[in-house]
Each structure stands twice: as structure tokens, then as C-alpha cells.
Amino acid sequence: MADHPACCRPVEDGLLLFVRLTPKSSRDAVEGMVSADDGSAHLKARVRAVPEGGKANAALEKLLAKTFGIPAGAVSLKAGATARLKTIALRGETSALLARLTQLVQDSR
């Protein structure tokens, strides 16, 4: 694959997206890319939902589906169910998902 944002890894049927989630926020939003102390990059997202009973994770999946213009069923949590740092699988056309992610990252700068 060509160059892509550091907060993702292209896979055969879409993207693995690395997300830093802030629950109990005042709004639902995707706010660009952030770098962690260890040098890893994550897409920064916030949701109004509380981190209880999977509510924040469900809200994140819904937000990402809307943001990327894909069905809610095409977004799934792969790792980090109880952590702030999460791995999310986005299923769809890899090149279209990468283009949207690149646009999101550039618009947030």
C-alpha cells in the first residue's frame, strides 16, 4: 500500500484503526491524530457516552461508521474494550477508507 496515516494499518478488507477514546465528553467528535509518548499514533475521538457496560465503545463504533460513511455493522472493536487506546476494524474499500482518514487528519491540522 501507498503512504497512509500512522494511526491505521491497511488490511485486505479495510483498515485497522488505532483510536484514543475520551468518554463522558460534551460532544461526539473525531479530532484528528495524536502521538503517544511511545511514538505510536492514534485517531483522537470523544463521545458523550459513559464507559460503563460498553456504552462508550458502542458510541465510538456508531461515530466512526457515520464519519467514514459505512454501515454500523462494518465497524467492530478488535482490542481495548476497557482501555482508552482501542483497535477498531473498519470493513470496506481500503482505498476509500484511507482517503477519508487522510482527509480527516489533514482537516484537523
The 3-class secondary structure across the chain, one letter per residue, is: CCCCCCCEEEECCEEEEEEEEECCCCCCEEEEEEECCCCCEEEEEECCCCCCCCHHHHHHHHHHHHHHCCCHHHEEEEECCCCCEEEEEEECCHHHHHHHHHHHHHHCC
Catalogue all structural domains in the chain, each as residue range(s) with its CATH number: 8-107 (3.30.1200.10)
pLDDT one-digit tens code per residue, 57-94: 999 999 999 999 999 999 999 999 999 999 999 999 99
Question: Global pTM?
Answer: 0.92
Task: Among 64-68, 93-97, 105-109, name the one with the lowest average pLDDT.
Answer: 105-109
